[in-house]
Amino acid sequence: MAKSTPRYLCAACGASFAKWSGRCEACGEWNSIAEDPVELRPGPAAKATPGRAVGFVPLAGSAAPPPRIRTGIAELDRVLGGGLVAASAVLVGGDPGIGKSTLLLQVAAAMAEAGQEVLYISGEESIDQIRLRAARLGVPAAPLRLAAAVNLRDIAAALETTPAALVVIDSIQTMWLDSIDSAPGTVTQVRAASFELIRLAKSRGFALVLVGHVTKEGALAGPRVVEHMVDAVLYFEGDRGHQFRILRGVKNRFGATDEIGVFEMTDRGLAEVANPSALFLAERRGNIAGSAVFAGLEGTRPVLLEVQALLAPNPGGAPRRSVIGWDGGRLSMLLAVLETRCGLRLGASDVYLNVAGGLRVGEPAADLAVAAALVSAVTDQPTSPGMVYFGEVGLSGEVRQVAQAEARLKEAAKLGFDAACLPRRVARGARALAAPSGLRLDEIGHLSDLVARFAAKAGAA
Ligand code: TYD
Ligand code: MG
């Protein structure tokens, strides 16, 4: 048999190369390339025998939706699309210390208390540490089964024979197969360990939850390849300085992505937040220039957020643009549109933008709220205290329609807002907007209309 040439894999992005180098050409990461052991790849022998032909079936046919196992935590069930699915694998990623182990111990305890067989395997903490956490969470006697182990051969032997509805592995980066000659946490170990665990989940029919740590650049440490192997990927995010946490679905083979679950970290673990808008707006002070409320959408769920802008005179040199919770490129675009299309002078000031509360907004619909916060800061005129903003802004300054206007308006009315600034409907024959009664609509077609509103206020003052 010919000696096979080694192959090299990047731990950060999973790209493969014929030779080693210090820097990955695909993602630019340094020192991330390591050899891929041969035994994981199909050898030449596998190629020699012809395969059995696969059978084809027509597309038409019946498929029942997969039965769901409720976790007992409604926010998680929503993100999963109705609960865990048997014989499937979910990856829960997040920064160290964000609360992944806390969340999963709560889930495990809730399911065990509901009468399900639950196995919780930790490679990071000792049994005593887990017991202490369970006591803190108020579930010291939940009937789940605990193990502290990292050797996957031993774990697999147990999983082959122990009945289980849910198996939690905390974390995949600590798991280790002794047949593979590389350290835990490396690409090959993480990939092989995930592969083995997922195989067991499919053959034994349990729901598998893998915990994964995220690098500071936001990628799952170890190969991206785990994301492709599992059926659902959830990210647990939040700012450690704030008490709330967002569980965000980024991939789901059994349901919609983009759903979020909102939790609050308390001294007794994670509490579900049924009304996130109220939480995000709790510390808002009215009547301050530079603040605007954005009526946003996270998945199917409307959320109101405060956008804050601050302009400071720049002493000279390149002006600073600092953004938290939003896209820096989009801020630059909005500043350029405000200057070029609306004649606002911003170029010489430092601009700071913050989405209060630590949530990250990805929607272009936030453009109008950001613009309102900026114009409010420039003109030193507060936005109307009862007004929410949403709409996308184009390069010529036009304000464009966004999805789900009615859901946004309903949420605003529910939280006591009495006015909304939104894109003007231009399409002829457009259906009238079913706005909640008592909500005044201020439709604008161009960003200069928004600037004019503030200028009028400044003139009146
Ligand atoms: P943890 O679940 O260990 O994070 P991860 O598994 O993602 O690394 O959470 C750790 C943090 O959560 C820690 O800083 C303490 C805090 N915490 C609380 O505030 N309240 C609690 O009830 C628990 C269990 C943890
Ligand atoms: Mg942990």
The contacts of residue 426 (CB under 8 Å, 6+ apart) are 445
* Strand partners of residue 308: 291, 354
- Between the alpha carbon of residue 148 and those of residues 121, 122, 200, 257, 424, the distances in Å are 6, 5, 19, 32, 59
pLDDT in tens, 211-255: 998 876 666 666 577 888 999 999 988 877 778 888 988 889 988
Q: 436: CA distance to ligand 1 center in Å?
A: 41
Find, among 117, 359, 89, 87, the residue nearest to 211 by Cα.
89
Minimum-distance ligand 1 atom for the alpha carbon of 124: 6
pLDDT attached to residue 170: 93
Contact criterion met (CB below 8 Å) for 167 and 206: yes
Contact criterion met (CB below 8 Å) for 457 and 384: no
Q: Which ligand has the nearest atom to the CA of 174? A: 2
The contacts of residue 125 (CB under 8 Å, 6+ apart) are 101, 133, 148, 170
pLDDT band at 281 (very low <50, low <70, confident <90, very high): confident
- In the DSSP assignment, the letter for residue 137 is T
Q: 103: CA distance to ligand 1 center in Å?
A: 9
Contact criterion met (CB below 8 Å) for 163 and 170: no
pLDDT in tens, 76-119: 998 998 899 999 999 999 888 899 999 999 999 999 999 999 99
Minimum-distance ligand 1 atom for the alpha carbon of 100: 7
Minimum-distance ligand 1 atom for the alpha carbon of 95: 7
pLDDT band at 123 (very low <50, low <70, confident <90, very high): very high
DSSP codes of every residue in 260-296: EEEEEEETTEEEE-S-HHHHHTTT--SS-TTEEEEEE
pLDDT in tens, 142-156: 999 999 999 999 999
Q: Give the mean model confidence (pLDDT) for residues 130-134.
A: 96
Minimum-distance ligand 1 atom for the alpha carbon of 268: 22
Mean predicted lDDT score pLDDT of the chain? 87
Residue whose CA is closest, atom 10 of ligand 1? 97
pLDDT in tens, 160-175: 999 999 999 998 999 9
Q: 88: CA distance to ligand 2 center in Å?
A: 22
- Report whether pLDDT(1) > 50: no
Residue whose CA is closest, atom 16 of ligand 1? 99
pLDDT attached to residue 63: 80
pLDDT attached to residue 51: 86
What is the β-pairing status of strands 301-313 and 291-298? antiparallel
Q: Give the mean model confidence (pLDDT) for residues 258-262.
A: 82
The Cα 461–Cα 458 span in angstroms is 5
- In the DSSP assignment, the letter for residue 431 is P
Q: 102: CA distance to ligand 1 center in Å?
A: 6
pLDDT band at 122 (very low <50, low <70, confident <90, very high): very high
- Count of beta carbons in the 10 Å neighbourhood of residue 425: 15
Residue whose CA is closest, atom 19 of ligand 1? 267
Find, among 199, 169, 175, 203, the residue nearest to 188 by Cα.
175
* Structure token pair of residue 369: 């709220």
The phi, psi pair for 343, rounded to 5°, reads 70, 20
Q: Which residues line ligand 1 (CB under 6 A)?
A: 94, 96-102, 133, 136-137, 265, 267-269
Residue whose CA is closest, atom 25 of ligand 1? 269
Q: 185: CA distance to ligand 1 center in Å?
A: 22
